[in-house]
Structure 1
Amino acid sequence: MGKNKKVEQNKLIVVEFKVSMHCNACERTVVKAISKCKGVEKFITDMNQHTVVVTGRIDPKKVLKKLKKNTGKKVEILSNQDEESNSESDRLVIIPPFPFENDCCIETEDLMMFSDENPNACSIM
């Protein structure tokens, strides 16, 4: 049970909160509350849209609770995404075939051109 909790904490999560911010002071209190949360890597506040996008290894419910407590404002979760799970499932990695696959069949003349067995040989490229 403890291992699953650690795995969940290591995921990078992007959460969008709706917080009513009317002035710069409201925005500062929200920023101060979010910056003190453990696991927050970055956040973006948008005062016109009344939203805050938080990215990090966080529990969205804990951040929601701290925002409500520290700001005294009504806070809602708009969207919640696991960034690592989305990026891994959407990403398709194509590995090209080895470009020198048929190099084992190089003619011996080409190899002998650079050989030290015949140092007096003239080789013009």
Structure 2
Amino acid sequence: MGVLDRFSNIVDFHRGDSSKLKKMRKKQLQTVEIKVKMDCEGCERKVRRSVEGMKGITQIEIEPKKHKLTVSGYVDPEKVLHRVLHRTGKKAEFWPYVPYDVVDHPYAPGAYDKKAPAGFVRNDYDHHHQGTQLARATSTEVKYYTTFSDENPNACVLM
């Protein structure tokens, strides 16, 4: 493998593009998912053309029903997002959703989003305090729980 790398550097050196290739090698292969509102085929075409000319992109996938743009390649995610924002003039953000089975409490107020595609909820991993808040019960809930508990000797039993 070392011989092939040296040979490719020699060949690229003679072409004069070695600095560009070295910059491309330093970037890692990434998949960038962006949420952009697309209403029609024209919007879809506009979003595709905004990223088509970028160096390092190997694949572009657009899902207009989910309002999702997926770009794979040796690119910087921030640059891709900035390019989509600048070229389309549309509001764009990194894909904020994850599958609902990954989240502990998918229907909690912070995670549930009506605008999310089917089977997805908002990615709420950054807000760790919400998980601890959901685990705690309020004093009223504790009172009701212990009133009908089998572990409480003075509990009320309904039959």
- Interval of TM-score (by shorter of Structure 1 and Structure 2): 0.5 to 0.7
Contact 2:85 2:92 in 1 (8 A): yes
Say which SS state the counterpart of residue 66 (structure 2) adopts. coil
* Alignment: residue pair count: 75
Asked if 1:58 corresponds to 2:75, the answer is yes
Q: Which residue of structure 2 lines up, in the alignment, with residue 98 of structure 1?
A: none
For residue 19 of structure 1, what is the aligned residue in structure 2?
36
Q: Secondary structure at the match of 2:95?
A: strand
1:116 is matched with none
Q: Which runs of 5+ in 2 are unaligned?
A: 1-22, 97-159
Distance 1:7 1:70 in 2: 26
Change in 2 beyond 3 A, CA 1:7/1:39 = closer
Which of residues 40, 53, 56 is equivalent to 1:36?
53
Runs of 4 or more consecutive aligned structure 1 residues displaced over 6 Å after TM superposition: none
Q: Aligned ranges for residues 71-86 of structure 1 at < 5 Å?
A: 71-78=88-95
Using the size of structure 2 for normalisation, the TM-score is 0.44
Aligned to 1:54, what secondary structure does the other structure show?
strand
Structure (1/2) with the larger strand percentage:
1
Q: Which structure ranks higher in relative contact order (CA pairs < 8 Å, sequence separation ≥ 6)?
A: 1
How many percent of aligned residue pairs carry the same amino acid? 36
Considering only CA atoms, is the larger Rg found in Structure 1 or Structure 2?
1
- After the TM superposition, which residues 76-115 of structure 1 pair with which residues of structure 2 at under 5 Å, given as runs? 76-78=93-95
Contact 2:61 2:70 in 1 (8 A): yes
Distance 2:24 2:51 in 1: 22
3-state secondary structure, aligned to 2:61:
strand
Counterpart of 1:26, as a letter, is C
